Structure formats: C-alpha cells, structure tokens
Homo-oligomer: A and B are copies of this chain.
Amino acid sequence: MPAGSDLFLRMAWQRMGPSIADVAKLAGVGKGTVSRVLNGRPGVSEQTAAKVRQAIRQLGYTPNVQARRLAQNKSDLICFVLSNRDFLHEFHSLVLKGVESYCSKVGRDLVFALWRYPLDGNLASVVPPRIIANRGSVDGAILAGANHIECVKAISKLGVPCVAFGNNLIGCTYLSEVDSVWYDEQPGTREAIRYLASLGHRHIRFAANISLPWFARNYRAYSEAMLDFGLAPALIAVNDTTDYVEIGERAVQELLDSGEPTTAIFAGNDVVAVSVIRALARRGLKVPRDISVVGFDDSPRCIECDPKLTSVHVPKEALGAECARFLIEKISAPGRVSGARVVSTHLVVRESCAPPRQTS
C-alpha cells in the first residue's frame, strides 16, 4: 500500500479523504491537538481550537471510524439478533424501532442479523452469528425473536455483553436466569378479566397452545386473575400446532363440540383472536353479540378487523428501548448491572366485547 503523506496524491489514489495529519499540518498544530478538539476533550485553548475547526472545514475532513475503533478497541455497534423467526413480524418490527430510537439517540449504530438453530437445547451444532463471534465486531447484542436459554448463556460466555427478550425464551425457569427484558402479562390480563367480569361474564375461556412458553405465561396470568375474581379458569388447549390461525379455528371447533357454556374467549394473541372471530362467524356466531373476544398484543390488525379487537397492549417500542438501555449500561459498566427488567401491559378496549347474551 503506497504511503502518500500528500493529500492530493492520496485522494487520487483512492477515495480516502484527508486524515487527521492533514488537518494538523494545515492548522499548524500536532495530531494530538486535533484529536482533542475532535473529541471535545479539555486542554485546548479556544484560539487553537478555532484554527483546527477552520482547517477541518476547509478540508472537508471527517474522522475515519475504523481507525478510531481500532485505537479505542470498541465499535459503537450494537447487534440486533432476530432468532428463529422467518422475518420481522409487526411485534419485532416495533421492538426494533424502539432499539433503533434509543441507539441513535446515544450515537450507536445497529447491526441486524438473523440467527437460526434448533430450539431443543442441544448446543452441539449451534454456532453463534458470525458477527457476534468476530471479536470486536460489535460491542454487544440484543437477542430478540425466540431463543433457547442455553444459547443466550453461550453468547454471554463468549464475553459478548448481551440482553435477551424474555418472553420468548425457551427453557427459562425464572425471570433473571439471564439478563433480559420482559413484558409483564399480569396487569393487562387482570384488567381484561376485570373488564369482562364487570360486563357480567362468568364463563371466560383461554384459547392457545400452552406448550409454547409465552402462551403458558399468559395462561398462568389468566388463571390467577380468574381465581382472584372468584371465577373458574378454563382452557381450550390446541397444543399440537404452532400455526396461530389454526389454533383459533380448532379452538372454536373444540369449544362448540364440547358444549360447555362460554360467554367470552381470551385468546393467546391477536392472530388467534381474529381467527376465532372468523371461525365463529362461519358458524353463525357474531362477536360481540353472541360471544365476547379479547386478544393479546394489541397489534395493528386490532383496528383492521371487524369488530375492532379489544386487546392487551404490549409496549413493544418501550421494550426495545429498555433492551437497548440495559445493554448499553452493561457495556459501559461491565459486571455492575444484571438481572431482569420488566415493562407493563394494559387493556385497550375496542368493540369485541359486550355483556353476555341473555340465554333465557
């Protein structure tokens, strides 16, 4: 690689702009001084600082990020890892948005990576995303999507600071098993049950595949809330498929077959809820006239369907922002922060619930 301390030559040789040395020479100061000005560090007289700034402007100088990163041994890059998801659905899109906002506010950039591996907890064949494995590539990682807890631990052990999205963790037995951010399904679920009860409902059933941990957590919150209001929890389990639309359809079928009295259905999430409403409609049952439905997530489809869906709101952007904040704290104070952080949920009332039909 040619040396070329001459600015013009270097520019001609490759699109490599002026360097700090060029600025220093033009301003008639040392490189160190330019660096100090650049980083707003104290100990430079206003007079020289002005000279330096003038030179910077004149040359159209911008610092070379790579060089700075090498010298400081950091990257200012955060990696957003989406694990075991086909693509960014609305939920994680909004989480990503929250992460992005926070990062750009604190001057960090965001690397996006997908990661796929079998979720059975067998780490033997799992390799971390290349960008994480490459030392120095990123300062830390946010593990979103669905992760197995052992994989999160493995990344941590690599020495990469990381924070995981809690609710989709597989094999996690307690909140703070790894550094993570969760949404707390309890407050919103409680509100939903209270709301349905106040409408007069007593037979509220929960529909989902509770072999999936996030649905299992929702179900637990539902059960506790039901008991607190003196109602009997009842589950419509469709545990042999992970296709949300199918879960909804099959739940309705099972419900009607069983003949159990039911005036409201609490769906595991909005997709299931919408599917339930459609399946009900196909059988001539109208929501909320004949039966009430509440969803979970508060996704955009809540207002795109008819009737508009009452749903438990999950603050996805706040969740993302919290992940980013937590991670950056970990990065800047290694070993000083850890545990789980939680954001709350609440009910958003729309049109899909009504008092139970009087069965005279």
Contacts and interface: CB of A to CB of B under 8 A. Distances in A.
A266 B147 CA distance: 42
B17 A135 contact: yes
Interface string A281-303: 11000000000000000000100
Contacts of A133: 62
The dominant DSSP class at the A interface is: mixed
Contacts of A275: 304
Interface stretch (A68-76, A172-180, A221-229): A68-76
A88 B64 CA distance: 30
A119 interface: no
Contacts of A96: 87-88, 112
Given A93-B88, A109-B113, A304 B274 contact: yes
A89 interface: yes
A306 interface: yes
A219 interface: no
A114 B109 contact: no
A234 interface: no
Nearest to A67: B70
Q: How many copies does the complex hold?
A: 2
A113 B69 CA distance: 19
Contacts of A77: 111
A217 interface: no
Given A64-B136, A278-B306, A112 B80 contact: yes
Nearest to A17: B135
Contact of A109 (B87, B97, B137, B159): B137
A149 to B, nearest CB: 23
A62 B94 CA distance: 34
A358 B197 CA distance: 49
A125 interface: no
A292 B88 CA distance: 31
A332 B64 CA distance: 20
A306 B304 CA distance: 13
Interface in A126-153: 130-131, 133-137
A55 to B, nearest CB: 16
A104 interface: yes
22 contacts: A15-B159, A63-B135, A65-B136, A65-B137, A66-B66, A66-B75, A66-B136, A67-B70, A67-B136, A77-B111, A87-B97, A88-B97, A89-B90, A89-B93, A97-B114, A104-B114, A109-B111, A109-B113, A110-B112, A112-B112, A274-B304, A301-B304
Nearest 7 A/B pairs, CB to CB? A88-B93, A112-B112, A66-B70, A62-B135, A66-B69, A87-B97, A65-B137
